[in-house]
């Protein structure tokens, strides 16, 4: 008997398959954690990759802007930011000439309480905290157009800063390949129009786009191009293991340091495979990754390239907070078939608040796969969204095998969601 525990909310759901089954269970590889986060940050700053030390770059600059992530990214800014401020001070830039901007893209603004938790009272007493607003058209300036035709407009305060730094974390990302680095510019401090253009449905559905994929990834390549236009001078990024431990920090050049960090992350998260499978059974990643369907779909997206066209995908995600996006639910609910969503998109109503996921599902997933969902959502709501509800993992697998019509289908099991990224060896990295 093959047994796997799929992450589900704050617990697990058990999958049991007979030994006669053709089953592959994947798992990520965790590197050892660093013993002390502060020392690791100091080490990275003292040994920058592809760049002179920060205090050398900062010397002679009149001011500095430090871009930081919002709460959707786990970055130890309470450790990193004070050290960056000290380096800038040593180079001759006083605190009064340094600003901290939350580069949250189109996400909500963080609260004062959240900011204090994230950065610490000492940091907030030293420098001004700014919040980027992607929807404020007047606060952005044009810095160039990418080779793919996207006009890049970024926050005026960033464009006018003499030195731009960014912190971040390098973990698998659903469309950009990996987070961190260049993403602090777009979507971080970009206008809604620039973000929408980069995240457009034809880009999201491009075969080169996906978790842990950077080579030929049209979204990643455009993000890098935009960050060059915006002059991202220096980064400090951390790499987390799938277990949530800090394993390394990288600092230095926006491209070279980030790419070095990606190599470390890829050695943990990417799982090579030599074939596609009839049936994919995947977790939404457990809490908080499966708190709602909007977030949990990443567990589905991560495995889609490893499922054969015409196969079945079983997504196991608790979704205690429901769908998590009104546009996502409404676009799927209001359609009788996937083509209706694609037609609605083509009429020009597309946005990035959940509609983009509905478009991805209806243009790429639903026409190729049957999706069975094991969750706490009402069965009727699941059916409204063009998926098949199942009360248990066992029932979902039974339905899947019946639909496939194969006595021994090949089955890929991913208990970890986006924490383990199946990669077909025939695909470019």
- Which domains, from first to last, does the chain contain? 2-28+270-424 (3.90.226.30), 37-240 (3.40.50.11440)
Backbone angles phi and psi of 383, in degrees to 5: -65, -35
Helices 112-119 and 77-90 pack at an angle, to 10 degrees, of: 70
Confidence class of residue 14 from pLDDT cuts 50, 70 and 90? very high
CB contact at 8 A, 103 and 68: yes
Confidence class of residue 44 from pLDDT cuts 50, 70 and 90? very high
In what helix (H) or strand (E) does residue 372 lie, and over which residues does it extend?
Answer: strand 370-374
pLDDT at 417: 92
Tell me the three state secondary structure of residue 206. coil
C-alpha span between 6 and 123 (Å, rounded):
40
Residues 6 or more apart in contact with residue 349 via CB below 8 angstroms: 355
Terminal-residue alpha carbon distance, the chain: 34
- On the CB side of 379, CA atoms within 13 Å amount to 6
pLDDT at 428: 42
| Maximum Cα interatomic distance, the chain, rounded to a whole number of Å | 71
Torsion of CA 27, 29, 34, 35, to 10 degrees: 60
- Counting residues of the chain whose pLDDT is more than 90, the rounded percentage is 78
Q: What is the pLDDT of residues 257-276, one digit of tens each?
A: 999 999 999 999 999 999 99
Does position 373 have pLDDT exceeding 90, yes or no?
yes
CA 265 to chain centre: 13
Q: What is the pLDDT of residues 53-87, one digit of tens each?
A: 999 999 999 999 999 988 777 899 999 999 999 99
Quote the radius of gyration of the chain (alpha carbons, Å): 22
């Amino acid at each position: 008997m093959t047994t796997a525990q799929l992450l589900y909310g704050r617990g697990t759901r058990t999958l049991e398959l007979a030994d006669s089954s053709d089953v592959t269970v994947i798992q990520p590889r965790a590197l050892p954690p660093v013993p002390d986060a502060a020392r690791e940050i100091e080490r990275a700053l003292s040994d920058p990759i592809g760049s002179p030390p920060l205090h050398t770059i900062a010397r002679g600059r009149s001011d500095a802007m430090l871009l930081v992530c919002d709460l959707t990214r786990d970055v130890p800014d309470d450790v990193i930011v004070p050290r960056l401020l000290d380096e800038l001070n040593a180079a001759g830039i006083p605190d009064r000439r340094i600003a901290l901007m939350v580069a949250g893209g189109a996400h909500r603004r963080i609260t004062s309480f959240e900011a204090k938790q994230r950065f610490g009272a000492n940091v907030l007493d030293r420098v001004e905290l700014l919040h980027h607003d992607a929807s404020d058209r007047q606060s952005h300036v044009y810095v160039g157009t990418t080779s793919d035709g996207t006009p890049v407009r970024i926050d005026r305060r960033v464009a006018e800063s003499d030195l731009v730094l960014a912190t971040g974390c390098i973990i698998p990302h659903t469309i950009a390949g990996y987070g961190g680095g260049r993403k602090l510019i777009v979507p971080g401090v970009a206008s809604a129009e620039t973000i929408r253009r980069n995240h457009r449905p034809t880009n999201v559905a491009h075969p080169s786009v996906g978790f842990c994929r950077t080579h030929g990834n049209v979204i990643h390549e455009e993000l890098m191009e935009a960050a060059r236009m915006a002059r991202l001078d220096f980064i400090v990024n951390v790499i987390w293991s799938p277990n949530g431990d800090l394993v390394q920090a990288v600092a230095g050049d926006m491209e070279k340091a980030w790419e070095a960090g990606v190599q470390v992350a890829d050695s943990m998260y990417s799982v090579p495979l030599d074939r596609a499978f009839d049936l994919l059974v995947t977790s939404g990643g457990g809490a908080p990754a499966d708190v709602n369907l909007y977030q949990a779909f990443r567990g589905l997206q991560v495995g889609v390239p490893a499922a054969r066209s015409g196969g079945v995908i079983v997504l196991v995600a608790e979704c205690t907070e429901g769908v998590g996006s009104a546009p996502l639910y409404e676009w799927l609910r209001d359609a009788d078939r996937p083509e209706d969503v694609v037609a609605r998109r083509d009429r020009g109503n597309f946005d990035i608040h959940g509609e983009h996921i509905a478009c991805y599902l209806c243009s790429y997933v639903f026409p190729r796969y049957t999706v069975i969902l094991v969750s706490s959502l009402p069965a009727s709501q699941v059916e409204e969204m063009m998926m098949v509800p199942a009360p248990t993992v066992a029932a979902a697998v039974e339905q899947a095998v019946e639909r496939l019509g194969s006595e021994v289908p090949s089955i890929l099991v991913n208990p970890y969601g986006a924490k383990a990224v199946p990669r077909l060896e025939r695909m470019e990295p």
